[in-house]
Structure 1
Amino acid sequence: MTKLNVLVACGAGIATSTVVMKKVEDLFKDNDIDANLIQIKIAEAASKQDSADMLISTTVLPREYDIPSIKAMGFLTGIGTDKLEENIVNTAHEIEAKK
Structure 2
Amino acid sequence: MARIRVLVFCCSGAATSTVVMEGVEAAAKKAGFDVDVWSTGMYEFQQSAEQADLVVSTGAMPKMSNTNKPVLTGLCYLTGIGIEAFEEQLIETLRQIQSSKGA
Partners in 1 of 2:27 and 2:37 — Cα distance?
A: 12
Match of 2:93 in 1: 91
What does residue range 8-19 of structure 1 map to in structure 2 within 5 Å? 8-19=8-19
Partners in 2 of 1:8 and 1:50 — Cα distance?
A: 13
| Runs (5+) with no aligned partner, structure 1 | none
Q: CA deviation at 1:20?
A: 0.9
Amino acid at match of 1:4: I
Give me the TM-score of the superposition, normalised by structure 1: 0.92
Q: CA deviation at 1:3?
A: 0.2
Partners in 1 of 2:54 and 2:29 — Cα distance?
A: 17
Q: Look up the SS of the partner of 2:61 in the other structure.
A: coil
Aligned-residue CA RMSD (Å): 1.2
**What whole-Å deviation, never above 9, does each CA across 1:28-72 have from its counterpart, x for those lacking one?**
111001011111113422222221100001121013421001111
Is the CA contact 1:49–1:66 (under 8 Å) kept in the aligned structure 2? no
User: Could you tell me the percent identity over the aligned residues?
Assistant: 34
Runs of 4+ aligned residues of structure 1 deviating over 4 Å after TM superposition are none
Is the CA contact 1:42–1:61 (under 8 Å) kept in the aligned structure 2? no
2:52 is equivalent to residue 52 of structure 1? yes
- Cα distance, 1:3–1:58 mapped onto 2, change above 3 Å: same
Partners in 2 of 1:5 and 1:30 — Cα distance?
A: 16
Match of 2:75 in 1: 73
Give me the TM-score of the superposition, normalised by structure 2: 0.88
Is the CA contact 2:40–2:48 (under 8 Å) kept in the aligned structure 1? no
Match of 1:22 in 2: 22
| Runs (5+) with no aligned partner, structure 2 | none
Q: Look up the SS of the partner of 1:29 in the other structure.
A: helix
